[in-house]
Amino acid sequence: AKVAGFSEATYIGLHAMVLISQKDGERISIREMAETICVSEAHLAKVVLRLAHTGLISQQEARAVLAKKPKEISFLDIVEAIEGPLENSKCVFGKSKCSREGCIFGDFLVKMTKEAKEWLRSKTLDEF
């Protein structure tokens, strides 16, 4: 079953970042993280590369460490590093005007995105 909301890469990234933060400044290998999370090492390596490009982690020889303090990294930072900015879009198709008279979702999408962003922003790595 697929979990709603984000790509598999984002869920992998969130779990990887928690694992990295739990190492308390000690580098952790991509292989160890992949085994712990039960995902492909190749897929995890791509996610880790994205996280490194955004400055959340430092990667060296397939080993990673946080580039900031855990309390300075929110789940929103991690999600946006992988998914890009979460915008308060009113349309799943990215249109400014609906082809129907009114959106079938009403204001649900706007509310859902706002609540998700607030929750993600409130969660930081130091909680784990």
For the segment 38-67, the average pLDDT, to the nearest whole number, is 96
pTM: predicted TM-score of the whole model, two decimal places: 0.88
Higher pLDDT, 10 or 86: 10
Taking only Cα atoms into account, the Rg of the chain, rounded to an integer number of angstroms, comes to 17
- Report whether pLDDT(47) > 80: yes
For the segment 75-92, the average pLDDT, to the nearest whole number, is 87
pLDDT tens digit sequence for 101-117:
888 888 888 888 889 99
pLDDT tens digit sequence for 25-34:
999 999 999 9
